[in-house]
Amino acid sequence: MTGSAKHHSSHPTALVTGGSRGIGSAIAVELADRGARVAVHYHANRAAAEAVLGSLAGSGHLLVSADLADATAISRLWAEVSDTLGSVDVLVNNAGIFLEHPPLIASYATWQDLWQRTLATNLVGPANLSYLAAHSMSARSQVINAAFGRGRIVNVSSRGAFRGEPDAPAYGASKAGLNALSQSLAKALAKRDVYVYCVAPGWVETEMAKASLSGPNKSNILDEHPLGRINRMDEIANAVVYCALDAPGAMTGSIIDVNGASYLRT
């Protein structure tokens, strides 16, 4: 465990899952720049997570590891963050996996395996963390401040929840489920002044996207984007941090598209 001893301050405390790379690292950096103490979660790549931790502005940050497909590990993770940093003000469910399994190509065994793994990480894991956050945040005797409420949960979804993912249907289904989870929790927790938001990115300039953007589908991907480029990580991070710290309570339950108009819902 890396971090400081438990302490309380006026700065919000945030747990960011999948904070060792990509969008998660950008979110962690932006939150720290805004004065938050950040628990950076990672699954396996400790070196990358340590690099992110070392880049954060301010002090009092924490490095934590857990397999989000393991409910017991999630319970330990929440306890570690709470015991070390104090109560968590913001939960950002960012971690996710994208595993291809085209329905007419994947074997039945592969189909079953990848559905189970994807849903466990992308949907059930965030649901379990949100459960723990909801109980912790709603139990506070008073709001942190009138605008912020008692706590906030921000889920990182995907445009794939709406447009479909033909080569990774479990991913699309998991993100659609995350949207529904967000809206269900927003209704359930509103009376306790705990707010829930969802940000749905499209293509983002991450390491995960490089292979696709350097391959034969690059022109097709860019043709989808009126901006002539895919989205930057800082653009997604800014939207997430807005929800985490600034969005009004009246926006609870919102699903915010950040995809450069590459997919427009009606």
Look up 171 and say whether it is catalytic: yes
Report d(CA 69, CA 117) in Å as an integer.
7
Q: Which two tokens stand for residue 94?
A: 């960012």
3-state SS, the chain, equals: CEECCCCCCCCCEEEECCCCCHHHHHHHHHHHHCCCEEEEEECCCHHHHHHHHHHCCCCCCEEEECCCCCHHHHHHHHHHHHHHHCCCCEEEECCCCCCCCCCCCCCHHHHHHHHHHHHHHHHHHHHHHHHHHHHHHHCCCCCCECCCECEEEEEECCCHHHHCCCCCHHHHHHHHHHHHHHHHHHHHHHHHCEEEEEEEECCECCHHHHHHHCCCCHHHHHHCCCCCCCECHHHHHHHHHHHHHHCCHHHCCCEEEECCCCCCCC
* Candidates 42, 108, 131, 171; catalytic one: 171
Alpha-carbon torsion 209, 213, 217, 222, what sign? positive
Phi, psi of 176 (to 5 degrees): -65, -40
Cβ contact 19:41 at 8 Å: yes
Known catalytic residues are 171
